[in-house]
A and B are shown apart, each in its own frame.
Chain A
Amino acid sequence: MVPFEQGGPVIIKPKRVAIIGGGCAAVATAFDLTRPERRGEFDVTIYQMGHRLGGKGASGRDAKTGRIEEHGLHLWMGFYENAFRLMREAYDELKRPEGHPLRNWYDAFVPDNFVGVTEKKPDNQWENWSAYFPPAAGLPGDPLSERNPFSVRGYLTQCLRLLRTLLLSVQDKGHIPPVGTGNEGVTVAATSLITSLISTVRSDVYGSASRAARYGQLAFGALILEAISAFQWITETLTPGSDLGPITTLLDRLSAAIQKQFDLLIAQDNELRRIWEIVDTLLAIVRGCIREGVLFSPKGFDLLDKYDWREWLLDHGARQDTIDSAFVRGSYDLLFAFEEGDVNRPQLAAGQALRGAMRMFFTYRGALFWKMQAGMGDVVFAPTYQVLKNRGVKFEFFHRLEHIGLSDDTSHVERLDFTVQAKVKGGGEYDPLVDVKGLECWPSLPVYDRLTNGAKLKRAGWNPEHEDASSVGTKQLKVGDDFDFAILAVGFGAVPGLCSELIEADPAWKRMVGSVKTVATQAFQVWLNEPVEDLGWDDPPINISGYVEPFDTWADMRQLIKVEDEKPEPKAIAYFCSVLPDSQIDENAYNTVRSNVITFLNRDVAHFWPKSVDEKGFRWALLAGSEDETENAIDSQFWTANTSGTERYVLSLPGTLDTRISPLDDRFDNFTIAGDWTGCGHQAGCVEAAVMSGLLAASALYVKPDLSRIVGYDHP
């Protein structure tokens, strides 16, 4: 706060902060700046284009059916400590009344322990592999004093738990005899040792007491293989001059024999093969980290960000099958990691991939995934909006930023130029929420009758999120008059267009804008008249990725039926999403996605729901809310092409992450940034990164920021 004299007592004037954008990062920034313990130090206004908060995480409700329409499928992970803490605090502060459909945070987020991947077998058939991840101690957002997962013990414990679970899924398939390797005694000895170790692992005669040891045995067998390659590496790299020919030849034979043994086992046993792929990945990680000295490097895993994840694994001895496995490919699908949306160009920075995988698998609390029990807008952005409003945050909806102007000496942001897209009827602030079955929700389109000329806008189907939407005026905010600090929290794709002066003035900005890339996404949702079980899906409700393009990921969203308002109620809801190749982006992208959906339902969905198709293709009558039995029934469903700049998903490409500017960087002295694209410690497009970035942006305005509260910021 600024104290200044007025001929008597010191008057404390709050610092005025303009936040542009209303996604996860912006909301986290506002939430932190206005914490009650800051005692009104900041006076915050959020400027948001269109009618709703949420950005890439926005969802809306269809006016007639109350159907949830998402920007794209969103799952929260059990390691989102900062994001969950924010949500828990928001729900606590809101104190919703008894009987409210989402009264507490745990009504809104429900653990989901099943994760699946789809993989192509050698015979070109697709097969699903679903794994159960056991609940881990604690809940995301709990204080770290309670079973801190970020301790060595925490990592090790969780690692063991996971291996145990995976190994438990291996059924005893009987003993497979060792492969005869001819004349080499050592080879035979080692081979039979490993075979017997594996066979011991698989015989569960001694019950749980000796289980732990047996898991060790499988790892032990693997360790011998590991040791051979370690030895080879040592002989190859550290003493290049010495004549080790005969030894390495022998080692090669030994290694090949053991590998053959594994291959034989793996080939006969899918479960074991998958586990081996995971073990092989872990071994390559350990090997790579030891070789490159990662663990003790001041850069931590960042050291590896110049490499692509799969190439790095391959370099450190992972087998080709492993890096082609669903397990590894799944990480690319999860992060839409395909340059220009081209699935033939997977690219993911190895360091961030490794950090993400470690956080995901080893530090989750509660469950690996958490599923929202309504739209992300309803679950995340409505309650946070309400809390912020109660705290006095002002919201200027229908304000689209067009340009950021710097001072002549380029030291600070002097003005913010906006287009005003609509005016609120009768003046005042726009009331953005609607009620659906007692739940505060964002509508998919503006509440037109709260706007000036609302009837006309409604007739025209005016959508302020469309880039060419009409507007009603402009507004300029000036530093000193209207704001003291500005925080840019738009999606990265919008940054170059808004920040030409910043890019011109600062080489670091130029570098970042030149290297950080984004990708468009496509998503669709269907409401079905039959449960997926009747269509041939036998497993529990699932989130499954790794499937064929155009839509590699499916999530079963049946939990939403009860919060929607469709009559008669549908029997199933399914969400699909994927990247959208840049080559498919033009003014017809929306129609292109429509065709992609039709193709996928006719051609590909049968893998999940065999009975949803007949000889002609998809049974269109399955789609709820339509009488049409042709493919035009798809028009009763929902799909989206997320192609505009701010909607595009930010990629974690190798060699680019170190160009990201941090919200803490003081490049313009009254300005900072927030978003999943900033240097926020976890450089991946996800809710947690956006929230971490928001907390950093708020910290940038504090005199004594306590960065230690941002869980995982200082993670290696």
Chain B
Amino acid sequence: MSTPSEQPINGRLRRPKPIRTEPRRNILGAFLQNGERGADKPTETASRQTGLDHHPLGLQPDAETGQPPHLTSSRNQEDIAAAANVIDRHIRDGKQYEIPVEDGVWGRFSSLAGGVNTEDLADMAKLLTRSYSELASVWIEIAGKLREIVGSGAEKAQSASTGGGIAHPALIIQSAVKVGAKVQIFAPGVPDGIQPLMPEGGGTGLTDATLNEDQIEIFVPQDAQQGRYHGLILGADGVPLGAVTLTIPGAT
């Protein structure tokens, strides 16, 4: 049961040679992310989700140029794309330091303890990478959006505008009084619900606001007070994707 390194040398023992002497800080390794061993080969969808084989933000590169895809419809977007590339590079650099499945540490402990299996861990890694991509994507997307708004002046901000490729629900308003309304979408995602619209300055909100398929329906009661109302458009898990602003002008 002893190895050569433990044999007495000149009558004394010495330490076994260490397998490693430092922690593995790489997050993909810690979560057992690995494409070659252990975990299943990523499917097309899975690899798009992790962003490891494709663009980190989950988008396909331009077929001709192989460049990162356009993230917004704004004209001057090189800088936005460059930011996306930074994120991309971080994830790709990280991938170089992945750790073989059987050495991943948190996972190994978990599986020893009879809990999480390798697949779960690979999923967690995917989730991590995806969350990071999504975070970065929202971040860059909003930056792009703002640039678009700012770059083209105030009027544009007032209009219902969306970034390229972002789902943009139609707005149907049932109202006895004249109202103005706009939808602003700030983040990619599939709208899943809408919040009641609350008036600026407090007061009774417009509670009859629903999202059906791609359509936002708002009912404005006759006695609704004048003013500006805002409600969030929510994605799955309650993540805000955008806002609806509805204005009930005062009597003229």
Contact = CB atoms under 8 A, between A and B. Distances in A.
Interface of A: 1-4, 15, 143-146, 148, 150-153, 156, 174-175, 177, 184-186, 189-190, 192-193, 195-197, 199-200, 203, 205-206, 210, 212-214, 216-217, 220, 223-224, 226-228, 230-231, 234-235, 238-239, 242, 247, 250-251, 254, 286, 290, 293, 295-302, 412, 479-480, 484-485, 662, 664-666, 669-672, 679, 681, 700-709, 711, 713-716
Given A227-B139, A298-B96, A700-B15, 4 more contacts: A193-B243, A296-B91, A671-B15, A709-B109
A15 B6 CA distance: 10
A192 B205 CA distance: 17
Contact of A223 (B14, B28, B142): B142
B82 interface: yes
B16 A702 contact: yes
A402 B105 CA distance: 39
Contacts of B112: 708-709
A665 B154 CA distance: 63
19 contacts: A2-B2, A148-B115, A150-B106, A152-B131, A185-B157, A196-B198, A196-B230, A203-B202, A214-B195, A230-B83, A242-B79, A254-B146, A290-B135, A295-B132, A300-B23, A700-B18, A715-B30, A716-B25, A716-B26
A708 B109 contact: yes
B82 A239 contact: yes
A580 B27 CA distance: 38
A639 B127 CA distance: 51
B100 to A, nearest CB: 13
A174 B114 contact: no
B232 A217 contact: yes
Is the interface on chain B under 10, 10 to 19, 20 to 34, or 35 or more residues?
35 or more
A185 B154 contact: yes
A196 B195 CA distance: 13
B1 A1 contact: yes
A228 B26 contact: no
Given A144-B110, A296-B90, A230 B23 contact: no
Given A144-B109, A213-B238, A234-B83, A199 B202 contact: yes
A290 B87 contact: yes
B24 A714 contact: yes
Q: Which of B2, B109, B142, B200 counts the most A-chain CB atoms under 10 A from its CB?
A: B109
Contact of A220 (B6, B17, B240): B240
B15 A670 contact: yes
A701 B2 CA distance: 12
Given A3-B2, A186-B149, A196 B200 contact: yes
A708 B106 contact: yes
B63 interface: no
Contact of B28 (A143, A185, A296): A296
Nearest to B155: A185
Q: Which of B154, B158, B186 counts the most A-chain CB atoms under 10 A from its CB?
A: B154
A153 B124 contact: yes
Nearest to B121: A151
Contacts of B1: 1, 3
Contact of A196 (B76, B105, B154, B228): B228
Q: Which of A174, A185, A295, A300 counts the most B-chain CB atoms under 10 A from its CB?
A: A295
What 8 A-B pairs have minimum CB-CB distances, sorted nearest first?
A: A145-B115, A296-B94, A300-B25, A185-B154, A227-B142, A293-B90, A231-B143, A669-B14
Contacts of B232: 197, 200, 213, 216-217, 220
Nearest to B95: A296
A247 B245 CA distance: 25
B55 to A, nearest CB: 15
Contact of A200 (B106, B114, B143, B198): B198
B196 interface: yes
Given A145-B115, A665-B21, A715-B23, A192 B154 contact: no
Contacts of B109: 144, 708-709, 711
B91 to A, nearest CB: 5
Nearest to B26: A298
A231 B144 CA distance: 7
B196 A480 contact: no
B26 A665 contact: no
Contacts of A250: 150
Nearest to B7: A2
Q: Which of A15, A193, A301, A702 counts the most B-chain CB atoms under 10 A from its CB?
A: A193
A684 to B, nearest CB: 14
Nearest to A714: B105
Given A216-B240, A234-B143, A665-B18, A145 B110 contact: yes
A50 B136 CA distance: 56
A670 B82 CA distance: 53
A205 B210 CA distance: 18
A672 B11 CA distance: 19
A151 B143 CA distance: 29
Q: Which of B17, B112, B158 counts the most A-chain CB atoms under 10 A from its CB?
A: B112
A679 B20 CA distance: 13
Nearest to B207: A206
A671 B12 CA distance: 12
A681 B23 contact: yes
A671 B113 CA distance: 32
B27 A300 contact: yes
Contacts of B29: 714
A296 B106 contact: no
A582 B202 CA distance: 57
B251 interface: no
Nearest to B199: A196
A664 B21 contact: yes
Given A199-B201, A227-B139, A713 B105 contact: yes
Given A3-B2, A192-B228, A239 B79 contact: yes
A235 B87 contact: no
B151 A301 contact: no
Q: Which of B17, B24, B146 counts the most A-chain CB atoms under 10 A from its CB?
A: B146
B128 interface: yes
Contacts of B31: 151-152
A666 B15 contact: yes
B25 A301 contact: yes
A227 B158 contact: no
Contacts of A662: 21-22
Contacts of B83: 230, 234, 238
Contacts of A701: 15-16
B138 to A, nearest CB: 7
Contact of A145 (B116, B186, B228): B116
B157 A485 contact: no
Contacts of B11: 480
A234 B74 CA distance: 15
Nearest to B202: A175
A708 B240 contact: no
A152 B122 CA distance: 11
B82 A184 contact: no
A185 B114 contact: no
Nearest to A227: B142
Interface string B229-248: 01010100011100101000
B250 interface: no
B132 to A, nearest CB: 6
Contacts of A681: 23
Contacts of B139: 226-227, 230, 290
B54 to A, nearest CB: 16
Contacts of A150: 106
A156 B202 contact: no
Interface string B154-192: 110110000000000000000000000000001000000
Contacts of A290: 87, 90, 135-136, 139
Contacts of B186: 220, 224
B32 to A, nearest CB: 11
Interface in B60-101: 76, 78-80, 82-83, 86-87, 89-91, 93-97
B39 to A, nearest CB: 16
Contact of A217 (B132, B147, B240): B240
B220 interface: no
